[in-house]
Amino acid sequence: MPNYKPPQRDTQFLLHEVLNVESHYEALLGHTDVNKDLINAILEEGAKFAENELAPLFRSGDEEGCHFNEGVVTTPKGYKEAYAKFVEGGWCALSSPEEYGGQGLPNSIGIVISEFTGSANWAWSMYPGLSHGANNTIETHGSEEQKKTYLPHLVSGKWTGTMCLTEPHCGSDLGTLRTKAEPNADGSYNITGTKIFISAGEHDFAENIVHIVLARLPDAPKGTKGISLFIVPKFLPNSDGGIGERNSVVCGSIEHKMGIKASATCVMNFEEAKGFLIGPPNKGLNCMFTFMNIARVGTALQGICTAEASFQGAYEYAIERTSMRSLSGPKAPDKEADPIIVHPDVRRMLLTQKAFAEGGRALCYYLGMQADIVTTSKSEEERQAADDLMAFLTPIAKAFLTEVGCEAANHGVQVYGGHGYISEWGMEQLVRDCRIATLYEGTTGIQALDLLGRKVLMTQGKMLMNFTKIVHKFCKANQDNEKLKSLVETLNGLNKEWGEVTQKIGMLAMQNRDEVGAAAVDYLMYSGYICLAYFWAVMAQKAHEKLAEGTDTSGFYTAKVQTAQFYFDRILPRTVAHKNAMLSGANNLLDIDTEHFTFL
């Protein structure tokens, strides 16, 4: 199985050399004391926990899975104990407000630790991961009493949180949900309905589970405008802050899944369970987007976690496994065959994994910095600009990175050959575990419609231009940099083309709105490849700078430059196919009659 080791050197390169987070934190209210030494110390301890506590449970958790018995869920051996150590180490409270017991560190540091834990064991990391969204939703939209009641316990990790959206008859189309909320005389509500696919809906980690639930009030309008948001705890809190009587919310079953088998995916039955309105009536979906956007960035991380874990496993195997001779002559003449890493096709797969993992890491960390600005900047203008950037980049990160994460996992199996298909190596588990990432928190198609329809066309290209201006500024600043010439010229050309292609789709959509749906996924993937090209160009620029200064780690920077060139030469040309597909129009999808799809 893969022997995962958190990529601390690459993380430090991004945080300190590319993104300059120390200066970033100094500019934010309350984060002037977050310096390089503190950051590195946190990374080192987080890496130890991920490598020593979570990685060893990766395969055993998959083999054992979760156990269900009359509403009670028991997690695999070692999972509960690892969570107790996680709580004891203060990791749950890392990026939470100090007033509720948190450490008050920036969100962007929390994202790094989430990457480490997720790469080591994604199924385990989902349990504390869901709590972050519940924290942020209550912190942003809850009353002062709700914050005081729930946040200290959620922040400490003593309680965990979920989000309950999906119902048996509706997935992403939340406008048709049927869960009811009947008002009580004391200001609470009786919540009745069934929610499905609820990650960490029931488990044995914590003494209480706080469900964030979407439901309808009796007089609510139809559709998404009639949805309200409620806090529904498993145990009702006492006046002293402890847990009281059991609420009437029960786990009806857990799903038998393709992957992430150690993560409990629950059917939750609410039978007049007592709930408490959070935020304004009929504005629940607006409030839930606080939860969903954070969850989507967290899901984007799964693509990076998968690519990194699969790359590490594949690289280790490729340098040890011998098979055939190099086409240009033996590279290990003392052995009966050469290590497979000498073969161009194996290198193609490894470099593709590496390019997606490291490029995607840069995008996710950049998003984490925007989240810092949104929550703590002193400037309203800066907060709005960062919020707009997050709104544009989040659907790209969530959908694109999970799609290429699945590709990277498949490459990992392929590098191993037949051994990759065998469970003991752990590579096939990564394929199974990551497949869900393209589905939950909105499928790739849903994210693509959000990007092209809502974020680009409905803003008349404003959100797109916010990012293309950043890319243009970089290209202009480096237009005379001879070492970056080929990368900058290619990136600058695609950056201009991005706007032109968007205008063409917009014109088609004015004649037929189905053109948006027909182009959306190709548009999103096209956008994702360009986004990663920008971050790879930025990383290459910094690597060239470090090499020119002189360094005793030249191999690291040289590899950055070479991987950037590989990405531009071998991966970025995929944009051509996506452009041609999205501009081919909707007719090739819609002309065929539904009944003519198959003849049996």
Q: Which two tokens stand for residue 427?
A: 């590579």
Q: Which two tokens stand for residue 74?
A: 């028991």
424 neighbors 455 (Cβ within 8 angstroms): no
Q: Which two tokens stand for residue 96?
A: 């939470």
Residue 230: C-alpha distances to residues 69, 130, 280, 403, 534 (Å): 27, 16, 10, 33, 41
Q: Which two tokens stand for residue 39?
A: 């950051």
Say how far apart CA 112 and CA 161 lie, in whole Å.
21
Taking the C-alpha atoms of 86, 88, 92 and 95 in order, what is their torsion angle to the nearest 10 degrees? -120
Question: In Å, how far from its chain's centre is CA 256?
Answer: 23
259 neighbors 433 (Cβ within 8 angstroms): yes
Q: Which two tokens stand for residue 69?
A: 């018995």
46 neighbors 91 (Cβ within 8 angstroms): yes
DSSP 3-state of 582: helix
Q: How far apart are the first and last CA of the chain?
A: 43
For 455, counting Cβ atoms within 10 Å of its Cβ (0-12 exposed, 13-18 middle, 19+ buried), the class is buried
Please tell me what DSSP assigns to residue 76: P
Please tell me what DSSP assigns to residue 255: -
Say how far apart CA 260 and CA 163 lie, in whole Å.
18
169 neighbors 193 (Cβ within 8 angstroms): no
Exactly one of 144, 441, 515, 545 is catalytic; name it.
441
Phi, psi of 231, deg, nearest 5: -95, 125
The CA R_g of the chain, rounded to the nearest whole Å, is 24
Q: Which two tokens stand for residue 280?
A: 């304004």
- 441 catalytic, yes or no? yes
Residue for token pair 């007089």: 219
Say how far apart CA 430 and CA 7 lie, in whole Å.
18
Length of the chain in residues, anyone? 600
13 neighbors 563 (Cβ within 8 angstroms): no
Residues with Cβ within 8 Å of residue 565, at least 6 apart in sequence: 486, 487, 540
Residue for token pair 């694109």: 400
Residue 161: C-alpha distances to residues 115, 138, 234, 322, 480 (Å): 20, 11, 10, 48, 52
Strand 159-164 versus strand 208-215 pairing type: parallel
DSSP 3-state of 237: strand
Say how far apart CA 402 and CA 408 lie, in whole Å.
10
DSSP 3-state of 566: helix
Which residues does the annotation mark as catalytic?
441
